[in-house]
Each structure stands twice: as structure tokens, then as C-alpha cells.
Structure 1
């Protein structure tokens, strides 16, 4: 199952979770509205990317979040994601550029 754009609307926060626990003190926030913004905080906010977004279905439980706008090194960024769970707490796992796989939960 992959999320729809409407299901992604809101704010998602990275959490430590078995297999996705880096103990690096980084907390990622991915906010979806009209635009998508991914940033992390460590003393100050560091924006990784922002722009319009779309969801692309891949195989099995994998999907891509495509952000077209501005990112660290690219105009368009494709974020490999998987394991979207619709039940509370809504969550998914995403490969954050240069930071590894991270587990995200949606804020209520």
C-alpha cells in the first residue's frame, strides 16, 4: 500500500525505531501542504529540500516521493520510501539523502 498525496498532507517527524536508530541527535521534519519541505535540526534548522511534490508507486510496498523545486544538490529529488502504514500511528520509512533510512510518524 502506498500513500496518496492527500494522506501525506501534514507534518511527519523522524523517530528512533529498531533498525532505524542512528543515535546522531538529528530530528527530521517533513511537512507536506501545497509544497513539501524536508529539514532537520541540530542547533539550527537545515533545509534539505522544498518544492512541489508527487507520489510515484514502485514495486511491492515501495514508493517514491518526488520533490521538484530546490534541494541541496538537485533541482528535482527522488526520495525512496517504503512500508507506509495507514493505521495510527501513520508511518513510513524513507531514505534521507546522505543521512540513511529514517522512520517517520505523522503528527496528529
Structure 2
């Protein structure tokens, strides 16, 4: 679902070689800026719990750190340059890693 939003709403893909033309803020992106990264982290944590393998927690921590670094130092500056004030407003309202309890409405002035 999150990936499909890039195609239908953003008119592009998550890949840097074919980026979106529009800022994607619908669906799961109204709750958290990086839902695919959060899903990967949650999946690895679930596997670690289910299989009782502590090494998977280490792997998940390393993967999470790499995804955070990529988002922080590549994606966020790039999106800020491409979408300007709209992206800044979105970042103020929607957290990057921990989902909001309520959906953000981009047409609202409330955060």
C-alpha cells in the first residue's frame, strides 16, 4: 500500500532514479513519514521475538540505523529541496519513525 502511493499519488517510485513528481502525504504517510522503514523494523523485531533469536534484534538495530541515516542525510535534504515549504510543514506535523495516533490532514492548519 505504501509503495503504491508513490505511483498513484506521487507519479513516481521510491527509487532515487525515478523520484515522485508530487509529495506523497496520503494513506500511511499521514501517520508516519517512513512507513516502509517502520514496517521493515517491525518485521525484523517480530521475527526476533517469534524465533527467539537475539541476533535478529542486533540485525534489526543495524538495519534501522542504516535506514534512519539514509532518510536523514539523503532523503530529507532532497525532499526539502524539491518540495520546499510543503515538505517542511509535513515534517513538522508527521514524525519520521514513530506513528501519530491520529491521521494528519494536509488541508488543515492544525498539526
Where is the helix percentage greater, Structure 1 or Structure 2? 2
* Structure index of larger Rg: 2
Alignment TM class, shorter chain as reference: under 0.3
> When the two structures are superposed, what TM-score results if normalisation uses the length of structure 1?
0.23
Specify which structure has the bigger relative contact order, considering alpha-carbon pairs within 8 angstroms and separated by 6 or more residues: 2
> When the two structures are superposed, what TM-score results if normalisation uses the length of structure 2?
0.23
Where is the strand percentage greater, Structure 1 or Structure 2? 1
